[in-house]
Structures are given as C-alpha cells and as structure tokens.
C-alpha cells in the first residue's frame, strides 16, 4: 500500500540501529543521541514498513542469540564450581540489567505487533493488553530476551548451576564460609527467568526450590540419626533446635521471599529433624516432667509443637505425672492432712502452685497444658484413696444397695474457710490481705471440686455457727465471701440463702435492741429470733429442761414477740443457744462460755454443790436425750484444752459411750485455769467447742438429704432439658446434664440412669420405639 514517497524500510534503518543494539547488549556506553536515534528508527520502521516490526523482531532475536552464545562460552569455560557460578552470575547480571533497558526503545514495535495479532485474537496478546502494555515486565522484547536465555544457556547448564549452588549450601552447613551472593544470584536468575505470567515462580519452584529441599532433606536425614545415636536425646534436641533456627535463617537468605518456600523448607526440616524421630523424643518427656527439667521441657515443647500430634503425648505425660505425683504426695502425708484441714488445703494449694509453675515454666502457660493441668488436678482433689466421705448412694433410698465414696475435700475446704473467717489463732495471725488471698485460694480449689453441694452444706453450717456465736473475725469479709462465691458460679439459690442469713441476723439484732430497751431489766439476755426458712429448715430440735434462771425469760420473750408480729410461731433452738456463766470455787472465779445444754447440766449442782450426781439423775434433771447428755457431759469431764477439768466422774471412762446410769459426776472444786504451770484465780474459758447444729440422728438425715436433693436436682434437670429438646439422645442428654449440674455436683452415671428409669416409669418421658437410646418428652 504505502510503497511510495518518503517511506522507510527496515533494511534502510537496521544497519544504523544494529551497532547500538549490540552496544546495549554488551553494556557498553551508548550516547544520548544514539539512544534517542534508536527510538526514532524503531518508530519509523514500525510506522512505514508493513513487514518492518517482524523483521525487526527477528533481527533482534538473532543478535540476542548471538550474544547469549558468547556469554555461554564464557561461562562454560569455567570448570570449578565457584568460578562457574561467579561467571554465570556476572553474565546473568549484565544480561538481566539489559532486559530492563533494551525493551524500552522497542515499545513501538510491540504495539505494532500486538495490534496485528489482536485481530487474529491471540490469547497471549489480550492478556498482555490487560496486564498493562507499558509494564516492562510484560514486554515482548523482554520476554524474547529471557526466553532466549532460558532456552539456550540456562537449559544447558542449569543442572551444573544447581548442583554447584547446592554444594555451596552444603559446605555452609558444614561450617565453611563462602560468598552467599553466589547462591542468591543463581536463585534470582531462576526467579527472573520465568516469563510465564500466571506462575512467575514456576522455573524457580520446579528446579531451584525442589533441589534445595531435596538436598536439605538428605543432609539432615543422615545427620539427625548420627547426632541422635552419638549424643542422646537431650543434646539432640538442642542440636535440632539450633539447626531449625539456622535453616530458617538460611532459607530466608537463599530462598525467594514471599513464595512460601521458607515455610515449605521449614516444614521439611521439621519433618526430618523431629517428625521422623518423634517416638524417640517423646520417650524422654515423662522422665523430664518427673524431674521438673523445665528448660529442657520448654525446648522439647518448642520442638514438638512444630509437628502435628507432637504435643498430645506430652499432654498425656503431664497429666499422668500430676495425678501420680499429687496422689503420692497426699498418701505420703495422709496422717497430717486427714486430721488438719489447714494442712490439707495448704498441701493442695502447694501442689496446685507446683503444677502451675511447671505448666508455666516448661510449657509457657500454653492453653492445652493448662487444660491438662486442670484435668489432672481435678483428679487429685476429688480422689478418694486417702480419705472419703461416705454418702449413702441414691440407690439406698430407692431400695437397692451400694455406697458412693466421695472425696472429703469439700468438707475440709469448708473447715479451712471457717478457720479463716472465724476468730481463731490462724485468722488472728494473718493480716486482712493474707486472709483475703487465702480465701481466694479456697475458691480456686473449689473450682476443681466435683461435689460442690457438700462444700455448700458445710460452709453454711459453719456460717450459721459464726453468726449465732458472734464469732466472725471480720463481718465485711464474711459478706465479701458470699459475693465471691457468687462470682465463681455457685448456684444462685444457695448464695441467696447465705445472703439472706446476713439480712436476717441484722433484723434480729434490731429486734434484740428493741427487746432490751422495752424491758430494761434484761441485760442478761440477748435474743436471736431467726427466719426458719433461711436457717434451719428440717433440722430437728432437742428438748431440754432449762434451769429456772433461763426458763423465766421465755414467756417474756414470747410475749414481746407476739406484740411485734402476728401469724408467727416461735420454736426455741436451745441446742444453738449459749451463754456465759460465772463459776466460783475455792480457787477463784471463772467466766465460762457454755452451751445451754452445758448450762442445764452444771446448774443441777446449784442446789447441792458438793454432791455426786449419777448419770441417771442428771438425765432426769435435764431431760436431755441420751446422746446429747453423753456428749455434753464428755465436754465437761474431758475438754481438750483444759488441764483441770470442770467435772470429775467415777468410774473413769475413756469414751462417752461408756458412761453408765450409775456413773457419778461432781464439780471439781480444784478447778482452775492453768497458765504457765500456775493456777489462776480469775479467767475466762470457752467450753462451747464446735456448736452443735444437729443431733447425731439428724446428721445421718443430713447426708440423706444431700443425696435426696441430688436426686431431685437431677430429675429437675432432665425434665428441663427434655422440655426444651422434646427428643434427645442419651449421650447428648448426659453431657447437657453435667453442664447444668456441675456447679452443684457431678452426677454419677448410675444415678442418671436410675433417675431416667424412674422418670420413664412415672411417664414423664419414654424411650423412642425405634432407638432405645433416644428419649422423648411426654407432657
């Protein structure tokens, strides 16, 4: 078409262009004019010569190929690995730089070729277009250059290159140093050579990365076994740890960043260094845990956590260790801890701290290890080998047999709690902060107790005693404790009941003040009139014939109360009431804090101070039931803290059960409080001991009531779940049940089964006809 005037052909222009192109390829200096001329020439050839662009491209290719051939000769002339790499990298470096310059003048060429090929709808061209034409990376000439390099020189020597590079890396692993730039250079050439626009790293990954990985794996396969055999597991772990760090750093240096190679390599190393030796390494974990080698364990944890399933066996080892060490500790000191709740709780806390610090120092408080610790500690806390609380099993009530032993821990924990909250030598010794932190410790252990209902019962009994005897060390702390119990998730109805007791005692205090101002002469009496619902539901009263001095007050109090309230009835709880009496004998005068029962017994002597009174007569005088009278008398003839007892008896027995009807008792006229070996003329002693809240019989009933309550709670929870779910499988039901009840107690499988049967029998629910393990709610 355009074959006439002014037209420029490729053949005209090329002779002038070629030297410039060659200069560029060889990285020789090109003047600014030459550089600009090249642009001009490309432009005119493309514009005027129809076949120009193709001819231009072919010519360019020829020259590039020629240049590459020369470069190849230069590189291959090197025989030695390092020199070969060096030469290659130098050549490649030059060439690659050129890849960024040479394409620029030929941009016009690309546009022309692309426009044509666009008509013939070539896929590559359209992608290229999309990928932004001006981008050098996608440039046609650049691609031409890289492809040529790839096909000619690279294909020929890539194996040699790779091998040389790997040899260098290997040498570095063995401690020799070399110019790391050599390996990096090879890698860069692999990365940059790729002209596949979808996967730019293809060549790199298939060759360099694969070779690197393989070499690494082979190297460590050999080394790991060697090290393990020669130096044992512990030093091997150090070796592996160090090597992993080294390899990671090396990978960062030699592998392409951002390609995922580093991660892949690390994984590979982990597999060879750890994964393949897992059983050998793990065999060491239990002994290390036992020895408390936190540093080594930390190392082991760090290593094994890198491989899948590496940590699970350590978790098991830790759990087993805690259980066995904890129980061994308990069994070893069984003598002390069964009798002393302070020692026991301190022991438990000590164990907890020990295990926690192990989990912290060795396993950095990793949540998985904390769970293992909790699980194992729970076993220790709830263990029944050292001592147990015998509860009648639910079966006993419903007619079959068997007992379910439970840990005594909740009882002892409640006792310890009482020692902290009551005025005791312990609570006096401690500062307020210390008491608080110990109460927090109690709550911590409480968290692990399965049968919290037992704790609750004992705690409530202790609180009752403290409130009735006014023996709280700090009433603020008492109420704080109630809130803390609420915070740790104790059941609301239980906590509310405790709170209600505080409320009630305040109401009663107000009433007492009124009583004392209304009737002025009664400064010898304090009254506590409490809400039976909050304090004493179901507990049984004990009859006693009160001394006249006390009896006189009763009608007056009742009269007063009737004026204040209506519709209420009063029941006297003399087993809870108490007082102070003065005892005078030849030695001196003593104030005695006593229970009302003790008072009733002692006042029997007021009419006949020097007489010996038989058991039978005391029984007639006091009207106390046999067990209570025995217990009361025993507290007066054998009070543990006293050197000289208040009462003497004959014949002497070692056990209150051995009192007979004819055993006689008399007041010890030599009674005195002894201090530093000298009898005192004045003094005060508390003979109340632990205030009895219930009789022996009602204690058994109490245990029954715990079981009974558990049964009701279980039934209640089952119905609650079924109401919501309508139908549910046995396993799902069991787990939901535990979830609901766990703040009170852990329902045994047996009890759940019994209650399910009972509910089915009573038509609250039924089994599915098709699936015996599915339950259906029946409204």
Partner 1 sequence: MSGEDCDAFDRGDNDGQKPDKMFTLKKWNAVAMWSWDVECDTCAICRVQVMDACLRCQGESKKDSYGKQDCVVVWGECNHSFHFCCMSLWVKQNNRCPLCQQEWSIQRMGK
Provide the binding-site residues for partner 1, judged by CB under 8 A. Answer: 468-470, 492, 496, 499-500, 503-504, 507, 524-537, 547, 549-550, 553, 557, 561, 564-574, 576-586, 588-589, 591, 596, 599, 602-603, 605-606, 609-610, 667, 669
* Nearer to partner 1 (CB atom), residue 23 or residue 541: 541
**227 phi-psi bin (left φ>0, alpha ψ -120 to 50, beta other):** alpha
DSSP 98-158: HHHHTTGGGHHHHHHHHHHHHHTT-HHHHHHHHT-TT-GGG-HHHHHHHHHHIIIIIHHHH
Q: Give the three-class secondary structure for 679.
A: strand
- Strands 674-675 and 664-667 turn out to be unpaired
Structure tokens at 678: 């000298």
* Nearer to partner 1 (CB atom), residue 230 or residue 492: 492
* Nearer to partner 1 (CB atom), residue 313 or residue 679: 679
* Least distance in angstroms from the C-beta of 664 to partner 1: 17
* Nearer to partner 1 (CB atom), residue 217 or residue 593: 593
* Least distance in angstroms from the C-beta of 591 to partner 1: 7
Q: Give the three-class secondary structure for 430.
A: coil
* Nearer to partner 1 (CB atom), residue 123 or residue 571: 571
Whole-angstrom distance, CA of residue 670 vs CA of residue 656: 23
Q: Which of 160, 187, 159, 201 is nearest to 251 (CA)?
A: 187
* Least distance in angstroms from the C-beta of 498 to partner 1: 10
* Least distance in angstroms from the C-beta of 514 to partner 1: 15
Whole-angstrom distance, CA of residue 205 vs CA of residue 259: 9
Under 8 Å between Cβ of 265 and 253 = no
* Nearer to partner 1 (CB atom), residue 593 or residue 701: 593
* Least distance in angstroms from the C-beta of 496 to partner 1: 5
> Distances from the Cα of 633 to the Cαs of 237, 503, 599, 611, 619, in angstroms?
70, 35, 11, 16, 11
* Least distance in angstroms from the C-beta of 480 to partner 1: 16
Whole-angstrom distance, CA of residue 710 vs CA of residue 733: 17
Q: Where are the beta strands (DSSP E) in 617-717?
A: 647-650, 664-667, 674-675, 678-679, 682-686
* Least distance in angstroms from the C-beta of 760 to partner 1: 24
Terminal Cα-to-Cα distance of the chain (whole angstroms): 97
Structure tokens at 681: 């003329």
* Least distance in angstroms from the C-beta of 524 to partner 1: 6
Whole-angstrom distance, CA of residue 115 vs CA of residue 113: 5
* Nearer to partner 1 (CB atom), residue 442 or residue 529: 529
* Least distance in angstroms from the C-beta of 536 to partner 1: 5
Whole-angstrom distance, CA of residue 482 vs CA of residue 490: 10
* Nearer to partner 1 (CB atom), residue 222 or residue 674: 674
Whole-angstrom distance, CA of residue 403 vs CA of residue 390: 7
Using a 10 angstrom Cβ sphere, with 0-12 exposed, 13-18 middle and 19 or more buried, the burial of residue 238 is middle
* Nearer to partner 1 (CB atom), residue 537 or residue 723: 537
* Nearer to partner 1 (CB atom), residue 106 or residue 535: 535
Does the N-terminal peptide bond of residue 651 adopt cis geometry, omega within 30 degrees of 0?
yes
Q: Which of 112, 124, 74, 101 is nearest to 20 (CA)?
A: 101
* Least distance in angstroms from the C-beta of 629 to partner 1: 18
* Least distance in angstroms from the C-beta of 580 to partner 1: 4
Structure tokens at 338: 């069964």
Under 8 Å between Cβ of 750 and 765 = no
* Nearer to partner 1 (CB atom), residue 74 or residue 568: 568
* Least distance in angstroms from the C-beta of 521 to partner 1: 13
């Amino acid at each position: 078409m355009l074959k006439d005037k002014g037209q420029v052909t490729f053949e005209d222009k090329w002779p002038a262009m070629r030297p410039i192109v060659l200069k560029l390829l060889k990285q020789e200096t090109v003047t600014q004019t030459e550089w600009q001329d090249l642009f001009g020439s490309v432009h005119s050839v493309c514009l005027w010569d129809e076949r120009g662009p193709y001819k231009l491209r072919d010519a360019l290719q020829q020259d590039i190929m020629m240049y590459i051939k020369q470069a190849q000769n230069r590189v291959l002339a090197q025989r030695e690995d390092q020199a070969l790499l060096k030469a290659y990298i130098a050549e490649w470096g030059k060439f690659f730089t050129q890849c960024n310059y040479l394409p620029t003048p030929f941009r016009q060429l690309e546009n022309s070729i692309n426009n044509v090929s666009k008509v013939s709808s070539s896929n590559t061209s359209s992608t290229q277009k999309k990928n932004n034409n001006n981008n050098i990376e996608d440039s046609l000439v650049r691609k031409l250059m890289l492809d040529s390099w790839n096909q000619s020189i690279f294909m020929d020597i890539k194996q040699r290159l790779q091998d040389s590079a790997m040899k260098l890396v290997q040498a570095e692993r063995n401690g020799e140093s070399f110019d790391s730039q050599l390996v990096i250079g090879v890698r860069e050439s692999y990365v940059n050579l790729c002209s596949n626009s979808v996967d730019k790293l293809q060549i790199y990954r298939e060759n360099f990365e694969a070779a690197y990985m393989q070499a690494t794996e082979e190297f460590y396969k050999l080394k790991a076994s060697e090290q393990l055999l020669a130096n044992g597991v512990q030093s091997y772990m150090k070796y592996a740890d160090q090597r992993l760090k080294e390899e990671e750093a090396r990978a960062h240096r030699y592998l392409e960043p951002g390609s995922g190679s580093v991660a892949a390599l690390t994984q590979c190393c982990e597999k060879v260094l750890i994964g393949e030796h897992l059983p050998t390494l793990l065999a060491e974990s239990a002994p290390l845990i036992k020895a408390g080698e936190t540093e080594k364990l930390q190392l082991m944890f760090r290593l094994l956590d890198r491989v899948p399933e590496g940590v699970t066996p350590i978790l098991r080892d830790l759990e087993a260790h805690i259980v066995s060490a904890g129980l061994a500790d308990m069994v070893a000191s069984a003598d002390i801890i069964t009798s002393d709740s302070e020692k026991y709780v301190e022991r438990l806390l000590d164990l907890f701290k020990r295990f926690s610090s192990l989990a912290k120092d060795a396993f950095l408080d990793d949540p998985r290890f904390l769970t293992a610790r909790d699980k194992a500690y729970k076993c220790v806390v709830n263990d029944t080998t050292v001592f147990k609380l015998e509860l009648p099993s639910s079966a006993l009530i419903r007619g079959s047999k068997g007992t379910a032993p439970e840990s005594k821990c909740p009882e002892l924990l409640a006792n310890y709690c009482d020692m902290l909250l009551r005025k005791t030598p312990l609570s006096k010794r401690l500062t307020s902060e210390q008491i608080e932190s110990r109460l927090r410790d109690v709550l911590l252990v409480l968290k692990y107790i399965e049968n919290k209902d037992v704790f609750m019962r004992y705690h409530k009994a202790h609180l009752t005693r403290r409130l009735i005897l006014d023996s709280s060390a700090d009433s603020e702390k008492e109420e704080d404790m109630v809130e803390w119990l609420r915070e740790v998730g104790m059941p609301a109805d239980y906590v509310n009941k405790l709170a209600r007791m505080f409320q009630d005692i305040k109401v009663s205090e107000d009433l007492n003040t009124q009583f004392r101002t209304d009737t002025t002469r009664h400064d010898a009496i304090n009254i506590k009139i409490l809400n039976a619902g909050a304090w004493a539901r179901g507990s049984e009263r004990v009859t006693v014939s009160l001394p006249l001095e006390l009896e006189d007050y009763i009608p007056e109090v009742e009269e007063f109360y009737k004026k204040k309230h209506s519709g209420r009835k009063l029941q006297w709880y003399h087993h809870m009431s108490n007082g102070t009496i003065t005892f005078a004998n030849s030695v001196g005068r003593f104030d005695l804090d006593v229970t009302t029962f003790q008072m009733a017994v002692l006042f029997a002597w007021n009419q006949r101070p020097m007489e010996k009174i038989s058991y039978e007569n005391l029984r007639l005088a006091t009207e106390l039931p046999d067990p209570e009278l025995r217990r009361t008398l025993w507290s007066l003839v054998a009070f543990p803290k006293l050197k000289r007892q208040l009462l003497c008896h004959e014949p002497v027995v070692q056990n209150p059960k051995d009192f007979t009807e004819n055993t006689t008792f008399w007041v010890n006229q030599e009674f005195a409080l002894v201090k530093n070996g000298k009898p005192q003329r004045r003094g005060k002693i508390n003979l109340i001991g632990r205030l009895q809240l219930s009789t022996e019989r009602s204690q058994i009933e109490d245990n029954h009531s715990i079981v009974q309550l558990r049964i009701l709670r279980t039934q209640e929870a089952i119905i609650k779940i079924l109401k919501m779910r309508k139908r549910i499988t046995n396993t799902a039901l069991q787990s939901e049940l535990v979830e609901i009840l766990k703040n009170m107690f852990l329902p045994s499988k047996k009890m759940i089964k019994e209650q399910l049967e009972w509910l089915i029998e009573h038509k609250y629910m039924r089994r599915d006809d098709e699936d015996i393990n599915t339950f259906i709610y029946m409204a």
